[in-house]
Amino acid sequence: MSLTDVFLILITGFIGGMVNTMAAGGSLLILPVLIFLGLPSAVANGTNRVAIVVQSITATANFYRKGYFDKKLAFLLSVPAVIGSVVGANLAISISDQLFNQILAVMMVITVIFIVWKPEKRIASKGNGDYSLVRKGLGIITFFFVGIYGGFIQAGAGFFIIAGLTAIFGISLVKSNSMKVFVVGIYILVSLFVFMVHGQINWYLGFSLAVGNALGGWVGSHIAIHKGDKWIRVFLMITVFFMAGKLLGIFDFHLNIKGE
C-alpha cells in the first residue's frame, strides 16, 4: 500500500468525521469510497466499523459526563440491537458485492432525504419521556430491526435511531443522541467481531479511518459553531446522489487501493 493510498483513506476519514459532527451521515461517504478504492464490499463494510467503534466510545463518554445518558433504556435497547446486528452482519457477508452495492445505493438516497427533511426535529420533545411497558416493547421490536440494518450496512442508521427514540419515547434530541451513540457502539462492536471472524476487516485502513475521523470531528465542531450545518447538508446530498449513481453503474470512474 502506497502513501497515496493512506492519504486518500485519511482524507476520507477526515471528511466523514467532519460530516458526522456537523450533520451526521459520514458513513454514507466513507463506505462507498472504500468500495470505489477497490475493496470488496464486505471488507469495506467491516473496515468502516473500526472507526465507528472508536468514535462511539468517545461520544458516549462525553454524554455520560454531561449527565445526558439514560443507562437503563440504553442497555435495554442494546440487547435486541445486538441480536439484530449479528443477523445483519452475517447477511452482509453472505451476499454478492453487486447486490450489496445496489442495496447500499438505494439506502443512501433514502437516508439523504432524511438528512434534508430532518424528521427527528419535527417530532422531538422537550419532556422527560414516556417509558411505559407498551413503549418499551415497541422499542425492543424496533431496535431489533435497527440492529439488522446496522449490522448489514450501518450507513445512516443514526438517523433512524434518533427518529425512533423521539417518536416512541418522546424524549429530547440530546437524550436520543446520547443513547444512539451508546447503542450503535455496542452493536457495531459485536458486528465488528462477526466481520473479523470471517476475515473481512483491513485493520490498517480501519485505524487510518479512525485517525481521520477524529481530526475531521475536531475541525467540524469548530466550523459548525461559526458556519452552521446547512452547507454541509447540501454537500452531503450532492455527493451521496453521485456516489449512489456510481454504485448503480450510472456514472463510471475507477480508483484502486493498490495503486494499479
pLDDT at 121 over 70: no
Distance CA 124, CA 83 (A): 27
State residue 216's pLDDT score: 83
Calculate the alpha carbon distances from 157 to 9, 33, 85, 218, 257 in Å. Answer: 22, 18, 12, 22, 27
Over pLDDT 90: what percentage of the chain?
36
Per DSSP, the residues of 74-138 read HHHHHHHHHHHHHHHHHHHHHS-HHHHHHHHHHHHHHHHHHHHH-HHHHH---S-----HHHHHH
pLDDT at 134 over 80: yes
Chain center to CA of 94:
21
27-65 pLDDT tens trace? 888 899 899 888 999 999 999 999 888 888 877 777 777
Report, as an integer, the average pLDDT of 98-118: 85
Of 184, 181, 165, nearest to 173 by C-alpha is 165
Cβ atoms of 151 and 92 closer than 8 Å: yes
**Grid cell of 89 as nine digits:** 452482519
pLDDT at 15 over 70: yes
Lowest mean pLDDT among 112-116, 161-165, 256-260: 256-260
Distance CA 49, CA 210 (A): 9
* pLDDT band, residue 161 (cuts 50/70/90): confident
Calculate the alpha carbon distances from 259 to 3, 4, 5, 40, 249 in Å. Answer: 10, 8, 7, 15, 22
pLDDT at 195 over 90: yes
Grid cell 439514560 — which residue? Answer: 70
State residue 119's pLDDT score: 61
pLDDT at 109 over 60: yes
Of 83, 101, 81, nearest to 92 by C-alpha is 101
State residue 251's pLDDT score: 65
Start-end of H helices in the chain: 3-22, 27-36, 41-66, 71-94, 97-117, 119-123, 133-152, 157-169, 173-197, 203-227, 230-247
Distance CA 157, CA 259 (A): 32
**Grid cell of 4 as nine digits:** 497515496
State residue 259's pLDDT score: 43
Q: In whole angstroms, how large is the CA radius of gyration of the chain?
A: 17
Distance CA 123, CA 160 (A): 13
Report, as an integer, the average pLDDT of 154-178: 83
Over pLDDT 70: what percentage of the chain?
82
